[in-house]
Amino acid sequence: MEILSPSRIRKLGEDPSRCSHAVEFGPIDFSRPFIPEEFTQLYFTPLYSELTREQRLRYNQLFGLKVNEQVAVFEEDFSDRLLVRLARHPTIAAETDLRVCLERMIDEERRHSEMFHDLNRLCLPEIYRDRDRHFLRMGWPDRLAFTVLTSAPYRLTFLLWFTTCMEEYSIGLSRVFIKNRQTETLGPLERNFVRIHAEHAKDETRHVHTALNLIDICQAAGWKVKRRINAALYRQLIRNIVVPRRWGAAVIRHLLEDCPELKPMGDRMIRAVRDLKDDEQFQKSLFNRTLMPYTFQHLDAQPEFENLGDVMLGYDRPKAER
């Protein structure tokens, strides 16, 4: 697959049909799921089948709001900390087409964040009226680590690798929304969620190629030790990503408030989600070649990532090719 040049990306970004547009939200249909079931965590546990349809539906809706938060928080934090700093770097600023693409990407990411926050406020105004983050609250250690790691993005290219993963994951999610609007057991997806993810994907496709061009420039100026350090940091980041964090448990705790009859099995549900850290099927659902083709293609070309399959499930290049 060809990685688009900055001039080609810039041209695509000037085509209105290739860019996202503001979504005019209608009334939320709470009888429908907000997200495909296979993109939730409990779906991969035996306990999912023990829930009634109403309980599964409410869990699905809450998890869908968590995913909206995740998309918005990632895009606004990375725009403000990572991409803005990169746009100011002299080497990147000198690349006119790439700089224009990056500036457009920053603007689009900020608009996406607002769009997803607006949808969450429409769904749960009593919670999101005064704050944007309900499930994805970070403690001071997480905030400090994020601040430090994003302080030198030109050197810490592993963050750009992570960006391509997140962008392609969101594209894969959008594809499911667009192509298969009928969920496995909960009926058709809620229309507002289908529309927002369809619009979101239009820009994300260009953003993947922009990020990959940025990686090439940043790595070209690096030395072998720096590349190895970034590969090690990336491996550690992936290890953390495939382990369900406290945010999944936060969704379950909110579910217990909405469905108090589930409280006797609340601890079991939280344990089941945490146990997914050892579940191969769940981990492959997060990172795999089908979901992230451009990311894996680029990783294949980097010698520092030769043994990434040891920590990143789905990296299934035949041993003879490694």
pLDDT, mean of residues 125-139:
86
Ranges 4-8, 83-87, 122-126: which has the least confidence: 83-87
Which whole number is the average pLDDT over 180-196?
Answer: 94
Per-residue pLDDT, 277: 84
Q: What is the pLDDT of residues 75-107, one digit of tens each?
A: 877 766 788 888 888 888 899 999 999 999 999
pLDDT higher than 90, residue 278: no
State the total domains in the chain.
Answer: 1
Domain-embedded: residue 130: yes
21 domain-assigned: no
Residue of 291 and 141 predicted with greater confidence: 291
Q: Work out the percent of the chain whose per-residue pLDDT is above 70.
A: 86
Query: Does the structure show a pLDDT above 50 at 143?
Result: yes
Cβ neighbors of 322 (< 8 A, separation 6 or more) are 306, 307, 309
Residue 23 falls inside a structural domain: no
Residue 147 pLDDT > 50:
yes
Range of the domain at 210: 6-15+31-321
pLDDT at 303: 77
Over 60: is that where the pLDDT of 62 sits?
Answer: yes
* Residue 264 within a domain: yes
- Say if 26 falls within a structural domain: no
Measured CA to CA in angstroms, residue 288 lies from 112, 282, 292, 320 at distances of 25, 11, 6, 19
Q: What is the CATH number of the domain that holds 264?
A: 1.10.620.20
Q: Is the model's pLDDT at 5 over the cut of 90?
A: yes
- More confident position, 158 or 99: 99
Question: Given a cut of 50, is residue 317 above it in pLDDT?
Answer: no
Residue 25 lies in a domain: no
Residue 272 lies in a domain: yes
Q: Is the dihedral of CA 103, 106, 109, 113 positive or negative?
A: negative
Residue 91 lies in a domain: yes
Measured CA to CA, the distance from residue 97 to residue 206 in angstroms comes to 13
- pLDDT band of 14, cuts 50, 70, 90: very high
Q: What pLDDT does 142 receive?
A: 66
Please state, in angstroms and rounded to a whole number, the distance separating the CA atoms of residues 300 and 295. 9
Q: For residue 243, what pLDDT band results from cuts at 50, 70 and 90?
A: low
